[in-house]
Chain A
Amino acid sequence: MLGRSAYLLAYNATLSAGWAYVLYLTLSTIANGGSLMDVWQAVELPLEIVQTAAVAEVIHAALGVVRSPVLVTSMQVASRLWILWGIVHLVPEAVTARQVAAVSIPGTGGAAIGLSLATLTSVWALSEVLRYGHFAAKEAGIQSKALLWLRYTGFIVLYPLGVSSELAMVYLASGPIRKQRLLSLSLPNRLNVAFDYYVVCWIIVLAYVPDQITGFQIDPTSVLNIGTPVRAEA
């Protein structure tokens, strides 16, 4: 019991700190007038490490260390890993070339954010700092109302912004993926099979997005509570 709690505290605290570092790198690069490519070069290694470490969450769910459903957790982690490795890491030049369509912020009289790699990494990082921070605090026995409020309220903004930034990345990457036939296999070949990664990307988007939107509307907590530690029966 104690071992598990200590492990989860260490895991969540480490990842929270790791994501905080990614957030810091993103924001400081932007503040120093860096380009989107500069942001990518700054965050690449730590981002790839902390995001890939989320695979442990699927293992936690499968082993019953945490209370999350295995399938939902796997889908969440897989979609993040796909965006990171299968999109951004694959064509960093393309996804840092520009922003995509600005999203206007309600109640600010027209202020807008363009979706870009910077919104992606900051939104991912901020939501993960809050999520892992929340779980770490829980394991440490700290019940912070402020952290809880921040996490749940932040989620309402961060989640849609995160999903739309992810889609922006796929959109930016899709051009070179199609033109250069990246990760694709053409006929004729000795296996007698063809594979078109460009088509697969859109199939994933079409299968994944409606699921994300409806899932979010029906039960935000299904997404929010991934990683919730198992509590002993009261």
Chain B
Amino acid sequence: MSFKIAVSARDGRTILPKGEKYITLADKDATVADLKRGIADSRPELYTARQRLTTVAEKGKKGTVLEDGKKLAEYGLTNGDTVVFKDLGPQIAYRAVFFWEYFGPLVVYSLFFFFPYLIPEEHGFAQKAALTFWVAHYAKRIAETFLVHSFGHATMPIRNLIKNCSYYWGFAAFIAYFINHPLYTPPSTLQTVLALAAAFTCTLSNLRCHLILADLRSPGRGGYSIPRGFLFDYITCANYTAEIWSWLFFSLATQSLPALVFTLAGAGQMAVWAAGKHQRLRKLFDGKEGREKYPKRYIMFPPLF
């Protein structure tokens, strides 16, 4: 028996073409994903990642967001019922955003290194070392994007691409301009060597953290779990700790205030994310009704935070 669902915008008007009201589904076992595909068949520009569907809001309440994997029946939807549609706008794959926001700094920084004022200069040791770290760091990020990270959402709104790229590319230019400037003042070679060695160590630690996190999300380990092992035994977001320290050491190795500004800006954003994740894990693992109790850990930056 076929199963019909009406799809309307928040103002109650149908979003389907030619005044049609219903999407017809195979049977009452149809999932939210099936409905989204039906909508996309009817209006191809509204591909499934652009769609957000909710139940009709009761007075004074918000509608429930429908999750792709669930059956419509699980939300109490029956033949002839209505769901509310919201267009999330043009989407872009998370991976694509990550790639462009990391590829930009590679290119931008290298341009400043190889063309300071368009007249190639002799570079000092600190400048060559800084370029090496920079390229290695962003190459690592790009590699992780394709080989390590898995993404909770496949896509994000396309305007994020512009926002994120401005941030990364802009900071790359700001940092590269001053480090590769002909009037750059390098610190002692010893300072550069020691600090950069520490920065590389932190970068590798960050990679190890990412591998641990990726393992948590591997197939067959469904749902949330508590990150364990390595620095995670002490810190909820140990990956951010390693990242921040690697940039602190880079700033020290190059004696660059712009790099330190970039470090602090990043640390501020990561602190917000880390606090959110720590809260979620604590709420999820509250130690009640047989659930695990989330161990006492620093959020991101021992011994301060």
A residues lining the B interface (CB < 8 Å): 187-194
Contact = CB atoms under 8 A, between A and B. Distances in A.
A187 B116 CA distance: 15
Contacts of B184: 187-188, 192
A188 B185 CA distance: 6
Q: Which 10 A-B pairs have the closest CB atoms?
A: A187-B183, A188-B183, A193-B257, A191-B257, A188-B185, A192-B256, A192-B178, A193-B178, A193-B258, A190-B185
Contacts, number: 29
Contacts of A187: 178, 181, 183-185
A189 B181 CA distance: 12
Contacts of B183: 187-188
Contacts of A189: 185
Nearest to B178: A192
A118 to B, nearest CB: 40
A190 B257 CA distance: 9
A27 B162 CA distance: 52
Best-buried of A187, A189, A193 by chain B (most CB within 10 Å)? A193
Contacts of B181: 187, 192
B263 interface: no
A195 to B, nearest CB: 10
Nearest to A189: B185
Contacts of A194: 178
A187 B183 CA distance: 6
A193 B185 contact: no
Nearest to A195: B257
A213 to B, nearest CB: 26
B255 A190 contact: yes
Contacts of A190: 185, 255
B179 interface: yes
Best-buried of B178, B181, B257, B258 by chain A (most CB within 10 Å)? B257
B254 interface: yes
